[in-house]
Amino acid sequence: MTASTEFDRKLYVVIHPLDDEPEGKVETENLGPMRMTTTVRVCLYALRAYLLLMFGMLGFRVLQLAGVIRG
């Protein structure tokens, strides 16, 4: 071990985000629509179907509790 490698230290300065300068924002006006892969499209349709099913079940249960539907 040499003397130069023994004392080689990096100094990092920590800046709190509130004290730091604000960074530039990305302008999204000129980006246009994003392209979706088939997998993403299928997952989004599955999520939509799941949410519709859950809202349907919720509505059915509310109508049951209200006495509109006997079951």
Domain assignment present for 21: no
What range does the domain containing 54 cover?
34-71
Overall domain count for the chain = 1
Whether 10 maps to a domain, the answer reads no
User: What CA–CA distances, in Å, run from 29 to 22, 24, 26, 34?
Assistant: 20, 15, 9, 13
Average pLDDT of the chain is 88
Is the pLDDT score of 23 beyond 80? Answer: yes
Q: Is residue 59 part of a domain?
A: yes
Residue 40 is which amino acid? V
Residue 64 lies in a domain: yes
Task: Report pLDDT digits (tens) over 33-63.
Answer: 889 999 999 999 999 999 999 999 999 999 9
Classify residue 53: in a domain, yes or no: yes
Looking at residue 11, its pLDDT comes to 86
- Top-confidence residue, 56 or 70: 56
Is there a domain that residue 45 lies in?
A: yes
Q: Is residue 2 part of a domain?
A: no
**pLDDT for position 6:** 62
Structure confidence at residue 70 (pLDDT):
86
